[in-house]
Amino acid sequence: MILLFATFASLMLSTVLILAGHGLSSTLIPLRADLAGFGNLQIGLISSSFYIGFVFGCLFGPYLILRAGHIRAFAALVSLMSAAALLHPIMIDPIAWALFRAITGLCFAGINLTVESWLNDRATNDNRGTVMSLYIICYLAATMSGQLMVTGFEITTFVPFAIASIFVSVAVVPVVLTHAAQPAPITLVRFRPVRLYQTSAVALIGCLLIGLANSSMWALAPLYAAQVGFSINEAAYFAAAIVLGGAVTQWPVGRLSDRVDRRFIILLLGLCAAIAAMLLFSLEGSSFWTTFCVFIVLGMASQPTYAIVAAHAFDYVEPEDYVETSSGVLMSNGIGSMIGPTIAAGLMFIIGPNGLFVWVALVEVALTLFVISRLFISPADEDLEKTDFEYGATSNMGAVLTPDPLDIEHPYVIPPEEFPAYEPVEGMASEEVGDLPNRNDDDDDQSIVDETQDNSRSQSD
């Protein structure tokens, strides 16, 4: 048990460091690009590039892990992400920055996959919910902390980029020094949009629309604040306000959705988000605190929607299909996120900074209209046995964490011994190879220690 929690501590620490660096760079880059004279459309393309890389990371990350192993894959991705952060102030060019952000997104997806699959492997049925909750708390807190770090630096200098790179670089230390064996199972899933649409049209289209809106807010809210006259520090607070608002309402809104058709909750959240966006559209020139409060309301309405949509999808699938469904809604969300910032930036160029909220309002209205249409096409099923809302299993972070241990016989779970990174190597201790299919049991850990000690004694004899 001590080894189990030691593993959690190292992974959580690495997660916090990476997310702090990621939060800092994500808020810094649009502000720095604006000061460098990049146009709104160029900044939108740079922001979209991150999500292009993220989608490719979701697709190809598992193969990298299967080829190199969790530890080596993690180290390689962290190093590449750290280097990408440092390249921004060295090569100030919009095309180069778009490439750097795509690399960052690819690395970020692969790192998430590595950490989350590792956490899932080390968790047990008794502590899985606690592990998921702790991971998400760390995720949100570290992201907000990173966003607010912008207030402590002069963004025209090299320093904030270097600090972001340092946070990401140091994150590799707890993982590479851990004594824990590498996880055994890794999931390979197919994105089958037709099947997902047939299972839950709201899940596929809803997550696509949510990606269009939310990615635009995350990427361009600091730029909006800077262009309407707020300071750099105030822009960072606006970015953090969206995350803070979402963190406040995730759980209560999710639990409320257990009692009614979740589509009604999605409809309500979409309407509230559209109203909040239009309020921000009309508030140009208002005080900082008024705008800050409306940003929090926008986060409260927009950020929980993904989890409710994912929970709605889970209501209609069998437990053995959770992994594919979770990956499907995440991929749909990622595709929307690739497109959203570029369109929003184009509207900011045409209309002005408030074009961001015109775009958000339009997307949220489209979401509500689609949900209304589905309510007429497929009325609520009074006899539906819904799964209890579990944010850890439905959030767009933690997509690899599953509510139950992965079944090695499942067609989407690949045993590691079939791949080079996990094949036994003659002369290596078993804990170095990572061929431990049941590492959740303390007895297994102790048996390996005993076996190693017996081997050492026989060699000395």
Q: In this predicted model, what pLDDT tens digit does every residue of 89-102 receive, in sequence order?
A: 999 999 999 999 99
Residue scoring higher pLDDT (185 or 234): 234
Residue scoring higher pLDDT (355 or 402): 355
Question: Residues 259, 311: contact at Cβ < 8 Å?
Answer: no
* 1 Cβ contact list (under 8 Å, min separation 6): 442
Residue type, 208: L
pLDDT tens sequence across 67-78? 887 888 889 999
pLDDT at 175: 81
pLDDT at 436: 37
Residue 413 DSSP SS3: strand
Residue at 113 is within a domain: yes
Nearest Cα to 113, choosing from 306, 330, 340, 314? 330
Percent share of the chain, pLDDT over 90:
44
Average pLDDT, integer, range 193-209: 86
Average pLDDT, integer, range 355-376: 94
- The C-alpha atoms of residue 207 and residue 214 are separated, in whole angstroms, by 10
Indicate the burial class of 39 (C-beta count within 10 angstroms; 0-12, 13-18, 19 or more).
Answer: middle
Question: Residues 75, 255: contact at Cβ < 8 Å?
Answer: no
Can you tell me which residue has the tokens 């409710």? 308
pLDDT tens sequence across 102-120? 999 999 988 888 877 777 6
The answer to whether residue 308 scores a pLDDT higher than 60 is yes
Mean pLDDT of the chain: 80
Residue at 285 is within a domain: yes
pLDDT at 368: 95
Residue scoring higher pLDDT (444 or 116): 116
pLDDT tens sequence across 10-19? 788 888 999 9
pLDDT at 326: 73
CATH code assigned at 29: 1.20.1250.20
Residue at 87 is within a domain: yes
pLDDT at 313: 81
pLDDT at 356: 95
* 412 Cβ contact list (under 8 Å, min separation 6): 187, 188, 189, 323, 324
Question: Residues 344, 218: contact at Cβ < 8 Å?
Answer: no
Q: How many CB atoms lie within 10 A of CB 385?
A: 6
SS3 of the chain: helix, strand, coil, percent, to 5? 75, 0, 25
Ordered DSSP codes for 27-90: HHHHHHHHHTT--HHHHHHHHHHHHHHHHHHHHHHHHHHHHH-HHHHHHHHHHHHHHHHHHHHH
Nearest Cα to 184, choosing from 261, 253, 122, 263? 122
Residue scoring higher pLDDT (5 or 219): 219
The answer to whether residue 213 scores a pLDDT higher than 70 is yes
Residue at 108 is within a domain: yes
Q: Which range among 49-58, 163-172, 182-191, 327-336 shows the weakest confidence by mean pLDDT?
A: 182-191
Question: Residues 326, 396: contact at Cβ < 8 Å?
Answer: no
- Look up the domain containing 203 and give its range: 2-414
pLDDT at 373: 92
Sorting pLDDT into bands at 50, 70 and 90, what band is 261?
Answer: confident
Percent share of the chain, pLDDT over 70:
74
Question: Residues 307, 395: contact at Cβ < 8 Å?
Answer: yes
Phi and psi at residue 153, to the nearest 5°: -130, 155
Question: Residues 298, 245: contact at Cβ < 8 Å?
Answer: yes
Residue type, 383: D
Tokens (6 digits) for 130: 């606690």
pLDDT tens sequence across 396-440? 544 444 445 555 565 555 555 555 555 544 443 344 333 333 444
pLDDT at 96: 96
- The C-alpha atoms of residue 82 and residue 70 are separated, in whole angstroms, by 18
Phi-psi region of 193 (alpha: psi -120 to 50; beta: other; left: phi over 0): alpha
Can you tell me which residue has the tokens 């709104």? 40
* 93 Cβ contact list (under 8 Å, min separation 6): none
pLDDT at 371: 93
Q: Which range among 264-268, 271-275, 331-335, 384-388 shows the weakest confidence by mean pLDDT?
A: 384-388
**What pTM was computed for the model?**
0.80
Supply the DSSP symbol for 180: S
- The C-alpha atoms of residue 152 and residue 154 are separated, in whole angstroms, by 7
pLDDT at 102: 96
- The C-alpha atoms of residue 67 and residue 439 are separated, in whole angstroms, by 21
pLDDT at 327: 75
Indicate the burial class of 52 (C-beta count within 10 angstroms; 0-12, 13-18, 19 or more).
Answer: buried
Report which listed range, 43-57, 121-135, 366-380, is most confident: 43-57
Beta strands in 52-201 (DSSP E): 186-187
Can you tell me which residue has the tokens 């309510």? 375
∠ CA 17-295-232, nearest 5°, is 60
Residue at 424 is within a domain: no
The answer to whether residue 155 scores a pLDDT higher than 50 is yes
pLDDT at 323: 67
Residue 303 DSSP SS3: coil
Tokens (6 digits) for 215: 């990615």
The answer to whether residue 146 scores a pLDDT higher than 60 is yes
Residue at 318 is within a domain: yes
Residue at 286 is within a domain: yes
Sorting pLDDT into bands at 50, 70 and 90, what band is 315?
Answer: confident
- The C-alpha atoms of residue 26 and residue 85 are separated, in whole angstroms, by 10
Q: Domain count of the chain?
A: 1
Tokens (6 digits) for 284: 């140009």
Residue at 21 is within a domain: yes
The answer to whether residue 195 scores a pLDDT higher than 50 is yes
Sorting pLDDT into bands at 50, 70 and 90, what band is 298?
Answer: very high
- Which residues are bridge partners to 187 per DSSP? 413
Average pLDDT, integer, range 220-230: 92
Sorting pLDDT into bands at 50, 70 and 90, what band is 1?
Answer: very low
- The C-alpha atoms of residue 45 and residue 121 are separated, in whole angstroms, by 37
